Structure 1
Amino acid sequence: MENSNPNSLSGNDFIIDVSDMPEIRINYEENPMSNNINTQYNQEYNEWKIGQKYLKKLSLTEDQCALLNRLSFNNNVFNEIDYCRIQILKQFMRTIEFLERDCKPVNRAYSSVIDELTEIIIVLEFNYRKDSLNYKYTFESIQSEILNHLLKLCENNVRDVYSIKRKIGTDFKYIKPTILEKFYKKIVSKAEIFLESNRHQILDADYRTNIILNENNTNRWKEKFDLIVSDYSNAISFEREVERLAEVNIKNPSLDTIYFDASKFISTHDKIVSLKLYLRYLEKDLNSNRFDRKHHTKTIQKNLFSTKDQIEDFEKIVNEFVITRDLQSAFQKIANIYLPKRKKIVIDRSAIDRVQRLDSEISQKLGDLLADDEMQEEEMAVIEFEENLNIELHVLNPSAENKILKYLQSLALSEVQMDVLDFFERNSFSILQSELEDYMRSKHLFMGATLEAINDTLYDILDDLLIEEDDEYFTINQEYFKKLLNNDQ
């Protein structure tokens, strides 16, 4: 029966004919969004790789970039300085170039040496089959370890050039004799010879880098200072070089010691420069956490002062400077210390009248005699040394009345113990054993007993040792050290 309802639709109206449309296949394997995310992730990851990061800075070739991408630094204060890292990487590339050019086996590339060592390690340490996935992954991993070992050698080489005494560890992970013998014979020994003979290719640290290095290595200045002393020619150039050294040690807690030692050395060559450098020492010492007021030895002071008046004048200048902090004014006054001081002459008017009444001839003779005396007095400009001069310089302590204790009073630390802790602080809490021995000797202390006494005193508070021995160094845990400080200082 025919449907009479005009609004009704036949069942065929719901069917769409798509037979003429092109076939669209559904791809179940690829996800475009996922691909974009992976691509972005890979780009960001590559940017963190060493080769990619230094591609432009070092003008790397594609092969060099790929090589450096296999490296990874064990980050530390030294290699995190960009300038130092660049020098390490340059030295690394020079080392690789040397090995590939001068150490390759006959009719083979040097890379075959590293490949052979890698295979030996896999066989002896892992015993993986050559065609397995584990073998392939481990092969690449070991090669990166070998390259990173060379990188560590290069870092120590740069550290040595920059007078950083502490070196990073270079122990190889695989210690079987067969592995170590081949590793050191074929790779390490050749690299070390090259690095030692090519130190000159490492650029000197720039101004900013020197400041950072000196801040973190508080005794680094000593090598440069010794060089300045050994090259001494005159006081003016010496003072200038000391000032340059001080500039790159501006953040070094030992800056005051630089000026103090410079003042000691120059005392036998130029008194005024020595006193100026001593004032600079005081300036830095006044700005430190603790005002030490170190004095020169009596021998040095006798080099500097030949009369009691001179030392009293200098003492007056120093104490005025401690109050005013006007360094330039103090410098100007220092120049007057060594000027000859004329004796006061008291004129007796009655005697003059009597002389005037004398015979003109006698007056003439007397006038000649007086003229001779005046000439002799002019020649007495050089002040004779007072043999039994008792020299003692008294320097004011500007904060003696309102002194705030650095360490908690409840710790009951002695002056000696506080001095030792201050010495550790000035040396970034890590001191070579030999340097600590020298310090203890200068203070007439026994090192073992002194350190043990400090640890015993503080053990109940810290529940641990404060000062510990680490290879050739003595170190202090900085978090423990902070617990000793008076927060009100």
Structure 2
Amino acid sequence: MDPSRTTDESIVDVTGLQVGLRIERSTPTTPAPQHPGETSSYTLPDYGYELPRLGKQYRKKLQLSKQEEDWLNKFWNPSNVFLAIEGCCIATARLYVRVLAQLEQELRAQQSSLEQVVTWCQGESIRLRKAAVRTAGYTWSKYDEQYQREQTEAIVYSTLFRRCENAVREVYANKRKLAAEFSGLDGALGQQIEEQLGQPMARILPTLVSSIEATDEAMDIALNLQNTTRWKGQFELLAAGLSPMSASAFVHGVYELGRRNARNPAVENIYYEASKHIAKYDREEALRLYVHYVYHDLHSATVNNKQLTKTIQNSLFSQPEHLQRFEAIIQQLVATNNLEEALAQVPGVYAKQRKRIELDLGAIQHVQHQHAGTVELLNEYLQDEPEPILGDGPVAAQTPSSPTPELEEVQLVVSAPSTAAVAGDFPAELGLSASQQLLLTLFAQQNLTVPQAEVEAFARQHGALRNQLIDSINELCYERLDDVLIEEDGDAYTIYDSYYQQLTAPC
């Protein structure tokens, strides 16, 4: 029988019977009479359509050889949610023909072939089934024999295909596996085929796993919809290598993972976990990821409203006003549902708020008018005073008419702008280099705010890059402060006074 032809739908498969009997609803079409000398052969009626077979379906797309197409046409088209994703079906089909090609080589080295093993299996299956049917008192027809031959062949090849599918599922992080035993064969036949085909295939499969093509974005979106926890394994891989130097790569990977879980109802958990992991290395990015979490949580079936732990909050919000500003952003996001606007406001959480001084011109003019007479009188006195002669030698003698005035000693006292203005000794435990300590001293001398251009010049003078020097100081001081020491503030760098005091205090 042509394996591409449909079976007779007037026949019902009675499940549960060991002998696999068929019950005829109506008499099948009678074969045409044979001419003398012809070999008798039984063919099923042709209803004019074919069952979908993978070989025919992907012959051109996968550029299959005749043998590969035939292998994929040996069984009925499998149907499940995993193979419904075309990329998964193609990956499985490619692995299947590669495995069978190597299996064929091994069998030929043993003076056998895949076709010979399957033919032997068909003969044994027919013999066992025929004996069971006759023992039960039923008759065995040529149709039964043809059906059993095709059924046995389909069982063998489809089982091999399912094992390839399980390997692809493993690579694609789909934890649900298919039963892939030769259980459809009678008696000990299944175990015999396992020894002849199953065991060699088990040795071949691991060597070809690396040839399985990676998923693309469309496949990942579909797979993540089927398995809502699939993202966890990929996230663990991202988090495993997280460090100050790889923080940006981690963030990029998280956003890519979020895009590939766009239809996953649990997508908000990706951003929540990422926010916790990155908080130690990048405060601003941690806030952005938490904003993403809140936004996706609002659009989920159940709003969980997870809060960051107190420890993480303390590391993110060193000043009370930081927390207040971020809470205002979240409240606005909940009210407006505008993700882009909320993300744009995140940098303002840590921006220093400078006091704005407004001058009252009217009050200034009033004071000027009120004290105009005093100013004029002072001007007259200053003009009448003789200018002292300054030089290296002694002061010239004064005439009796112009006695030397007694000058009152005045001491100009300038108050320090902050307690951190004077550089202190830095604990050796920090491991700061000489250039790093000099830069921190420069901050102390300039009220803890230094223009970027000046830091650039300092770094160049000491043979370093500006960003590299700043990052190295922040990394060394992070463990002590649990926060970033030097922050970028517009066109300058700045340090919190309390952080500097904490840094110079003895360990």
TM range (shorter): 0.5 to 0.7
Give yes or no for the alignment of 1:291 onto 2:303. yes
Match of 1:280 among 284, 292, 300: 292
Q: Does the Cα contact within 8 Å between 1:51 and 1:66 map onto a contact in 2? A: yes
In structure 1, how many angstroms separate the alpha carbons of the residues matched to 2:211 and 2:269? 32
Distance across 1 between alignment mates of 2:46 and 2:141: 32
CA contact (8 A) 2:224 2:260 kept: yes
Distance of 1:375 and 1:149 partners within structure 2: 78
Partner of 2:204: 194
152-161 or 163-172: bigger deviation: 163-172
The answer on 1:313 being equivalent to 2:325 is yes
Higher mean C-alpha deviation, range 372-381 or range 161-170: 372-381
What whole-Å deviation, never above 9, does each CA across 1:72-97 have from its counterpart, x for those lacking one?
Answer: 24311111111111111111111111
The residue number in structure 2 matching 1:140 is: 150
- Alpha-carbon offset, residue 164 of structure 1: 0.2
CA distance in 1, matches of 2:229, 2:147: 45
Cα displacement (A) at 1:60: 2.1
Q: Find the partner of 1:203 among 184, 190, 213.
A: 213
The residue type paired with residue 188 of structure 1 is G
State how far apart, in whole Å, the 2-side matches of 1:339 and 1:214 are: 38
CA distances 1:226-268 after superposition (whole Å, capped 9, x unpaired):
1111233433222211111111110000110010011011111
- 1:34 corresponds to: none
Aligned match for 2:233, one of 223, 228, 231:
223
| Secondary structure in structure 2 of the residue aligned to 1:71 | coil
CA distance in 2, matches of 1:164, 1:326: 35
SS of structure 1 residue aligned to 2:206: helix
**Do the aligned residues in 2 keep the contact of 1:235 with 1:269 (CA within 8 Å)?**
yes
* Secondary structure, aligned partner of 1:314: helix
Pairing 1:67-216 to 2, within 5 Å after superposition: 67-104=71-108, 106-127=110-131, 134-174=144-184, 178-216=188-226
Query: 2:348 corresponds to which residue?
Result: 336
Q: 2: CA distance between counterparts of 1:71 and 1:362?
A: 106
Do the aligned partners of 1:340 and 1:383 also contact (CA within 8 Å) in 2? no
The equivalent position to 2:496 in structure 1, one of 382, 403, 418, is 382
The CA deviation at 1:335 is 1.8
Please give the residue correspondences for 1:455-474 in structure 2 after superposition, counting only pairs within 5 Å.
none
Q: 1:179 to 1:342 in 2, by over 3 A?
A: same
Q: Letter of the aligned partner of 1:203 in structure 2?
A: E
Q: CA deviation at 1:294?
A: 0.8
Q: Name which of structure 1's ranges 205-214 and 306-315 shifts more when overlaid on structure 2.
A: 306-315
Alpha-carbon distance between aligned partners in 2 of 1:360 and 1:259, rounded to the nearest angstrom:
70
Q: Distance in 2 between matches of 1:90 and 1:223?
A: 25
* Sequence identity percentage: 27
| Matched positions, count | 339
Distance in 2, matches of 1:144 and 1:113, equals 13
**Superposed displacement of residue 149, structure 1:** 0.4
2:50 paired residue number: 45
Report if the CA contact (8 A) 1:306-1:383 is conserved.
no
> Which letter does structure 1 place at the counterpart of 2:73?
N
Name the aligned partner's letter for residue 382 of structure 1: Y
RMSD: 3.5
1:260 paired to 2:272: yes
Which residue type is aligned with residue 495 of structure 2? A
Contact in 1 for aligned 2:162/2:180 (Cα 8 Å): yes
CA distance in 2, matches of 1:77, 1:109: 33
2:69 corresponds to which residue? 65
- Residues 1:237 and 1:292: Cα distance change in structure 2 (over 3 Å): same
Task: Tell me the alpha carbon deviations over residues 194-230 of structure 1, each in whole angstroms, 9 at most, x when there is no partner.
Answer: 1122111110112211111111111111111111112
The whole-number CA distance in structure 2 between the counterparts of 1:135 and 1:112 is 18
Q: 2:472 corresponds to which residue?
A: none
Aligned equivalents of 1:328, 1:360: Cα separation in 2: 65
AA aligned to 2:265 is: P
- State the distance in 2 between where 1:126 and 1:274 align: 70
Deviations 1:375-423 (A, max 9, x none): 46823932648xxxxxxxxxxxxxxxxxxxxxxxxxxxxxxxxxxxxxx
- Equivalent-residue separation in structure 2 for 1:40 and 1:101 (angstroms): 36
One-letter identity of the residue aligned with 2:280 = T
* 2-structure distance, mates of 1:338, 1:105: 72
Give the Å deviation of 1:65. Answer: 2.4
Which of 1 and 2 has greater Rg?
2
Taking structure 1 as the reference length, the TM-score comes to 0.62
Give 3-state SS (helix, strand or coil) of 1:168's partner.
coil
Aligned residue for 2:263, secondary structure, equals coil
* TM-fit CA distance, 1:107: 2.7
Question: Which consecutive unaligned segments of at least 5 residues does structure 2 have?
Answer: 1-31, 34-43, 135-139, 372-377, 379-406, 423-443, 449-493, 500-507
User: Any conservation in 2 of the 1:256–1:284 contact (CA below 8 Å)?
Assistant: yes
Q: Structure 1 residues 369-378 or 224-233, which shifts more?
A: 369-378
Identify unmatched segments of 5+ residues in structure 1.
1-28, 31-37, 386-489
Does the 8 Å CA contact 1:267/1:304 hold for their aligned counterparts?
yes
**Counterparts in 2 of 1:383 and 1:114: CA distance versus 1, 3 Å:** farther
Superposed counterparts of 1:8-47, under 5 Å: 42=48, 44-45=49-50
Query: 1:342 Cα deviation (Å)?
Result: 6.4
Structure 1 match to 2:398: none
1:154 and 1:360, CA in 2 relative to 1: closer, same or farther beyond 3 A? farther
